[in-house]
Amino acid sequence: MATLVPVSDPGDPRLADYVRLREMNLRKSLEAEHGLFIAEGEKVIRRAVATGYPARSFLMARRWVEPLSDLLDTVDAPLYVADDATVEAVAGFQVHRGALASMRRLPVPSVRETVAGTRRILVLEDLVDHANVGSIFRCAAALGIDAVILSPRCADPLYRRSIKVSMGAVFAIPYARMTDWRAGLGSLRTDDGFTLLALTPDQSAVPLDKAPLGERVALMLGAEGDGLSSRWLGEADEAVCIPMSGRAMANGVDSLNVVAAAAIACHGLMRGF
């Protein structure tokens, strides 16, 4: 069971995993160096532990110990208990959900291992906004997508904000990161047998609900604003769009944000299932 350790000094070196959680560059460096990520809130912590991520430690206000007692009885890790002011001083913001956990990262499988046995996947190109990545994982998990593949420059799904926005859905769906942006799509098509669909706001593309869906389909999504690169668009088997209403087009609304588009597209990929 977790070992309760009262702490009162925000500078206590034992709390180093939780320092300045809002400073992205610091966190990316620290988390990569120590192979950790931060889970925030009871529901997310429970999902992380249930998925098999080992706990390094916990930091929480005393009022959260009892609600999490059943989980804490099952883990062997220090439980740092502090008042709200100390937790806020360490994290760099008011932790409304009261509980934090430092979790050990697990090895990320290869793309080939991740897509084995899947039929519907998303492939994200250069989405660098952590909230968008987390939201798309939530859509994918809710709407039956089997896996998510990330281009090399995509944001980290296990960054705290991604996890928080996804409500822990990043733990529910397998993902992998491409090592080769140029050849990765070709491998999905040639080696794994996926039909590549590129989602674009271009209304001359095939409407998603009319696109032929093969046995294995990979839907490609690009970053908000820039969309998919010309190279990835050119490698697609088919460009597809979500049709906009005439009224929307007349008012200058010719596209959706990437999260809304992902939700509609994920639902569309389930056609025929």
| Direct distance between the N- and C-terminal alpha carbons of the chain, in angstroms, rounded to an integer | 44
pLDDT at 250: 57
CA 59 to CA 83: how far, in whole Å?
Answer: 10
With a CB cutoff of 8 Å and minimum separation 6, the contacts of 215 are: 119, 193
CATH superfamily assigned to domain 111-269? SPOUT methyltransferase, trefoil knot domain (3.40.1280.10)
What integer pLDDT is reported at residue 34 of this predicted model? 94
> 55-66: per-residue pLDDT in tens?
999 999 999 999
Domain boundaries, given as residue ranges, for the chain:
3-104, 111-269
pLDDT for the residue 226:
78
Structure-token pair, residue 247: 């009224």
Domain range 3-104, its CATH number among 3.40.630.30, 3.20.20.100, 3.30.1330.30, 3.90.660.10? 3.30.1330.30
Confidence at residue 245, expressed as pLDDT on a 0 to 100 scale: 77
- Give me 119's structure tokens: 């039929």
Stated pTM of the model: 0.92
For every one of its 273 residues, what pLDDT tens digit does the chain have, with 9 covering 90 and above? 889 999 999 999 999 999 999 999 899 899 999 999 999 999 999 999 999 999 999 999 999 999 999 999 999 999 999 999 999 999 998 887 779 999 999 999 999 999 999 999 999 999 999 999 999 999 999 999 999 999 999 999 999 999 999 999 999 999 999 999 999 999 999 999 999 999 999 999 999 999 988 899 999 999 887 789 999 999 999 999 999 876 656 555 666 899 999 999 999 998 755
Residue 253 has a pLDDT of: 60
Q: Judging by beta carbons within 10 Å of its beta carbon (0-12, 13-18, 19+), is residue 34 exposed, middle or buried?
A: middle
Torsion from C-alpha of 212, 151, 143, 113, nearest 10 degrees:
90
